[in-house]
């Protein structure tokens, strides 16, 4: 499988600092992780309960047979999903992340989760469909040209009454200087090493790319896929504005 630069960066996060790679908070750095790991997984449980509650508030009950988490990382969300759904699948581009997830699931005795290595075509899923498809703080690290393809492919794997929650970054308030710095880090080979030195980070710490998605393009994708009604929930975090899109497919009435 040919890896994109951002995919390779995520494999490096998986090897070096996997929990920080999932949630970029200093308390989840490897050196601080032991005392904060419980909080890390509890945050995942709260998130899943909130998402399901929002979906069911607007669209009615969500079938609990099967769920997919795209960009599952170390399993922060797979653990609560496994308690709610009969069958759960986690997809990630990082083998190291998936290995860590496998260890955590085994520690908890969770046996209803399948872990698969991901690509843009989601080829590992084959013909599987899911009642709930979810992704959060993942697509923002993937260039939109690829991300839109991934979203279309995710929607193709929804069951006849499936629901989704798809989270993206839609606005990044940055000065011209910041934009130039980001472009340089993303596009110029090894430039990130120089900026790591300036920030007193580990020299070869991977870059976390941040990309904005266009709301109009996303709504068009959802509409074309058969989701004309979409609930939008936005959250401002510093200079970033992120948005979650929720919807559920309706089963056509019997003739």
Between CA 81 and CA 135 the distance in angstroms is 12
The upper half-sphere exposure of residue 66, i.e. CA atoms within 13 Å in the direction of its Cβ, equals: 15
Q: In the prediction, which pLDDT does 13 show?
A: 82
Q: In the prediction, which pLDDT does 197 show?
A: 56
**139 vs 13, 83, 191, 222, 228, CA distance in Å?**
16, 25, 23, 16, 22
Between CA 35 and CA 28 the distance in angstroms is 9
Q: What is the mean pLDDT of each run of 10 residues along the chain (255 residues)?
A: 67 88 89 92 96 96 97 96 98 96 96 97 96 97 95 97 96 66 59 56 69 95 95 85 93 44
Residue among 154, 124, 137, 131 at smallest CA distance from 74: 137
Question: Phi and psi dihedrals of 212, rounded to 5?
Answer: -95, 145
With 0.75 as the threshold, say if the pTM is over it: yes
Q: What angle do CA 55, 61, 65 make, to 5 degrees?
A: 100
- For the chain, give every domain's residue range: 5-248
3-state secondary structure of 217: helix
Q: In the prediction, which pLDDT does 9 show?
A: 83
3-state secondary structure of 169: strand
Max distance between CA atoms of the chain, in angstroms, equals: 67
The distance from CA 241 to its chain's CA centroid, rounded to whole angstroms, is 16
- Taking the alpha carbons at both ends of the chain, their separation in whole angstroms is 45
Residue among 150, 186, 219 at smallest CA distance from 5: 186
Q: In the prediction, which pLDDT does 1 show?
A: 39
Token representation of residue 6: 């951002």
* Check whether domain 5-248 has CATH 3.40.50.150, yes or no: yes
Helix, strand, coil percentages for the chain (3-state, nearest 5): 45, 20, 35
Between CA 217 and CA 239 the distance in angstroms is 22
């Amino acid at each position: 499988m040919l890896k994109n630069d951002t995919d390779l960066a995520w494999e490096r996060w998986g090897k070096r600092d996997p929990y920080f790679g999932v949630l970029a908070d200093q308390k989840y750095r490897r050196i601080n992780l032991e005392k904060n790991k419980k909080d890390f997984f509890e945050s995942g449980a709260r998130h899943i309960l909130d998402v399901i509650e929002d979906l069911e508030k607007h669209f009615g009950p969500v079938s609990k047979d099967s769920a997919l988490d795209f960009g599952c990382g170390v399993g922060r969300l797979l653990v609560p999903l496994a308690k709610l759904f009969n069958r759960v699948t986690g997809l990630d581009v990082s083998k190291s992340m998936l290995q860590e997830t496998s260890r955590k699931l085994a520690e908890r005795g969770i046996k209803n989760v399948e872990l698969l290595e991901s690509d843009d075509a989601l080829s590992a899923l084959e013909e599987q469909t899911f009642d709930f498809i979810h992704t959060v703080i993942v697509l923002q690290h993937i260039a939109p040209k690829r991300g839109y393809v991934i979203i279309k492919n995710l929607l193709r794997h929804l069951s006849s009454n499936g629901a989704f929650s798809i989270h993206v970054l839609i606005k990044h308030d940055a000065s011209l200087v910041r934009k130039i710095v980001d472009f340089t880090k993303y596009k110029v080979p090894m430039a990130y090493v120089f900026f790591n030195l300036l920030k007193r980070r580990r020299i070869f710490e991977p870059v976390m790319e941040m990309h904005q998605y266009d709301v109009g393009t996303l709504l068009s994708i959802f509409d074309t896929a058969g989701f004309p009604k979409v609930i939008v929930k936005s959250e401002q975090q510093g200079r970033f504005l992120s948005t979650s899109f929720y919807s559920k497919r309706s089963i056509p009435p019997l003739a």
